[in-house]
Amino acid sequence: MALINCPECQKEVSDKVENCIHCGYPFQKISAINPQNNIENNGIKKPSKEKKIAIVIITIIVVVIIVGIFYDNQLQNEDNYIGKLRETHIKILSGASIAEDLTHLTRKVWNNSIFKNSNIDTNKFTIRENVYSSNRINYRDSDFVSDFNVAL
């Protein structure tokens, strides 16, 4: 038998008694509750470490996913940009091609109206409206419009 101090009244009591003989403080309940508390505390602490690890892992996964989505968007944006650049390139080339064709046609209309040459491409510009027929290729000089400016 040993003497201990009562945690409530601080007086010395036997460690065998269930309650403090001075104030009635219940020792057995404390000793019964304390281990439970320790277990509970340990039980809480261990999962909390696992939870922290889980939170770190989840955070890393979320960051990786966000970075992946951002990177994927950036690649798509680059693809869109390159696609639009190619479209623009094709439009410029086709525009230049059309301009070239128009320039050639203008030159031919000008030339054929002055020299009164019949030509399947320029007849509809160089021949007077009341004479012109899409089926006819060759025309007389008098069928041509009077001035190349009219043909142009």
Which residues contact Zn ion (rule: CB under 5 A)?
6, 8-9, 20, 22-23, 25
Burial class of residue 147 in the structure, from the number of CB atoms within 10 Å of its CB (0-12 exposed, 13-18 middle, 19+ buried): exposed
The least CB distance from residue 7 to Zn ion, in Å, is 8
In the complex with Zn ion, which residue's Cβ is closer, 3 or 49?
Answer: 3
The least CB distance from residue 21 to Zn ion, in Å, is 7
The least CB distance from residue 37 to Zn ion, in Å, is 21
Structure tokens at 3: 């003497």
Which single residue is written with the structure tokens 């069928």? 143
In the complex with Zn ion, which residue's Cβ is closer, 10 or 142?
Answer: 10
Contact of 35 with 28, CB cutoff 8 Å: no
The least CB distance from residue 12 to Zn ion, in Å, is 9
- Count of Cβ atoms closer than 10 Å to residue 113 Cβ: 22
Contact of 4 with 12, CB cutoff 8 Å: yes
Q: How far apart are CA 148 and CA 152, in angstroms?
A: 6
- Count of Cβ atoms closer than 10 Å to residue 126 Cβ: 28
